[in-house]
């Protein structure tokens, strides 16, 4: 084989790859013409799937450093490494660390409610990806990812657990083991919406238990507990206590959004 034939043979795979990529790009373009990508929070068109339009992105308040090392509450100025909020000092949570993507304001609420109440399951992939980035240090340390469970009656009526959908996406992003049924909600509880902090605590006290047949999933492991929203923390605190009673070595918490009091 002479040098000309060698060059021709070597160029053939690159040509085929280029043609295949070009065809794929054309296919994606045709799909976008038929079904233009839309903002995850509204109906405006965006450049690519999985994004927010400029208006919604500008209104989403991300939680970034500096924040409380324990609770992830944002600080207005940097207090130095390892700084704790007054809430974390006065009432230390049973979990080690909590992180959230954004304040639970209008845009974050629209995303959470779209997943939770309007069956927009496609949101879980993108929201879970943002959570994995916001909680990267927690995910790196985690041995297993566990969602906050629904009681079987509510799961039957809602058909899916939004926290489990988010947890699965987070686990996938970190290539971390996922234990969707390790934690059970053994008592039906009232909706937390509208309850005071004390009522929320009482509502979920003793509501969770590590499944007897899945203790090995959490025993001696660092668990990353996933939920959609952190309001007063009553739910994730009760779930954390159950995981620790079930043998977990430690628990971190990751949510998509959290209520930040006094932020306005």
Phi and psi for 214 in degrees, rounded to 5?
A: -130, 25
The pLDDT of residue 27 is: 45
Q: What are the pLDDT digits (tens) for 36-67?
A: 889 999 978 888 888 899 999 999 999 999 99
Token pair, residue 259, equals 């209520």
Residue 53 lies in a domain: no
Q: What are the pLDDT digits (tens) for 178-188?
A: 999 999 999 87
* Residue ranges making up the domain that contains 150: 61-258
Q: How confident is the model at residue 264 (pLDDT cuts 50, 70, 90)?
A: low
Q: Tell me the β-bridge partners of 45.
A: 38
Using alpha carbons, select from 93, 183, 175, 185 the residue that is nearest to residue 142.
175
Indicate if the pLDDT at residue 5 is higher than 50: no
* CB-neighbour burial class of residue 125 (10 A; exposed 0-12, middle 13-18, buried 19+): middle
Residue 217 lies in a domain: yes
Residue 27 lies in a domain: no
Residue 31 lies in a domain: no
Q: For residues 131 and 115, what is the distance between their CA atoms, to the nearest angstrom?
A: 15
Report angle CA 133, 88, 102 to the nearest 5 degrees: 30
CATH of the domain at 174: 3.40.50
Indicate if the pLDDT at residue 32 is higher than 80: no
Q: What is the pTM of this model?
A: 0.84
* CB-neighbour burial class of residue 107 (10 A; exposed 0-12, middle 13-18, buried 19+): buried
Q: Are the C-beta atoms of residues 137 and 95 closer than 8 Å to each other? A: no
Q: What are the pLDDT digits (tens) for 97-144?
A: 999 999 999 999 999 999 988 888 999 999 999 999 999 999 999 999
Indicate if the pLDDT at residue 11 is higher than 70: no
Residue 139 lies in a domain: yes
Residue 38 lies in a domain: no
Token pair, residue 195, equals 């309850």
The pLDDT of residue 230 is: 97
Q: How confident is the model at residue 7 (pLDDT cuts 50, 70, 90)?
A: very low
Residue 7 lies in a domain: no
Q: Are the C-beta atoms of residues 244 and 94 closer than 8 Å to each other? A: yes
Indicate the number of domains in the chain.
Answer: 1
Q: How confident is the model at residue 20 (pLDDT cuts 50, 70, 90)?
A: low
Query: Rounded mean pLDDT of the chain?
Result: 87
Q: Could you tell me which residue, 164 or 8, shows the higher pLDDT?
A: 164
């Amino acid at each position: 084989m002479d040098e000309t034939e060698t060059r021709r043979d070597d160029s053939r795979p690159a040509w085929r790859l280029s043609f295949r990529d070009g065809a794929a790009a054309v296919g994606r373009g045709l799909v976008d013409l038929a079904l233009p990508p839309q903002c995850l929070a509204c109906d405006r068109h965006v450049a690519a799937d999985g994004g927010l339009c400029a208006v919604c992105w500008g209104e989403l308040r991300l939680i970034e450093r500096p924040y409380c090392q324990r609770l992830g509450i944002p600080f207005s100025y940097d207090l130095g490494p390892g700084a704790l909020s007054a809430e974390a000092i006065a009432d230390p949570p049973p979990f080690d660390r909590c992180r959230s993507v954004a304040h639970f304001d209008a845009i974050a609420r629209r995303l959470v409610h779209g997943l939770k109440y309007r069956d927009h399951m496609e949101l879980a992939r993108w929201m879970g990806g943002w959570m994995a980035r916001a909680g990267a240090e927690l995910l790196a340390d985690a041995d297993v990812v566990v969602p906050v469970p629904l009681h079987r009656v509510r799961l039957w009526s809602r058909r899916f657990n939004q926290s489990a959908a988010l947890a699965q996406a987070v686990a996938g992003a970190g290539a971390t083991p996922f234990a969707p049924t390790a934690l059970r909600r053994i008592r039906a509880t009232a909706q937390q919406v509208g309850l005071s902090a004390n009522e929320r605590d009482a509502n979920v006290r003793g509501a969770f238990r590590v499944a007897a047949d899945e203790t090995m999933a959490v025993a001696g492991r660092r668990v990353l507990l996933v939920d959609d929203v952190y309001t007063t923390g009553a739910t994730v605190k009760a779930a954390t206590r159950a995981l620790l009673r079930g043998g977990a070595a430690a628990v971190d918490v990751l949510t998509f959004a959290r209520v930040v009091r006094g932020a306005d």
